[in-house]
Amino acid sequence: MGQPKGALKPDATIFKKKTTGNPILIEKTEIAKFERNHDPKQPVPKKDEKPIHGLVSDKNFIVANAVENILAAPKLPQQKNQDYLKKKSYGAVPKYLTKIRNEIEDEYNLVREMQIEEQNERDRQKFLMPDSEREELIAALKKKWEAMNKQFQEKTHYVMPLDTVGKKARMDGLTKEMDQIEADIKRL
Cα separation, 16 vs 22, in Å, equals 11
What pLDDT is attached to residue 54? Answer: 82
Instruction: Reply yes or no on whether the pLDDT at 90 is more than 60.
Output: yes
pLDDT at 161: 67
Q: What is the 3-state secondary structure (H, E, C) of 5-47?
A: CCCCCCCCCCCCCCCCCCCCCCCHHHCCCCCCCCCCCCCCCCC
Say if CB 148 and CB 170 are below 8 A apart: no
Looking at the chain, how many residues does it have? Answer: 188
pLDDT tens digits along 26-81: 787 777 777 878 888 888 889 898 888 888 888 999 999 999 999 999 888 877 77
Q: Which of 187, 185, 151 is nearest to 171 (CA)?
A: 151
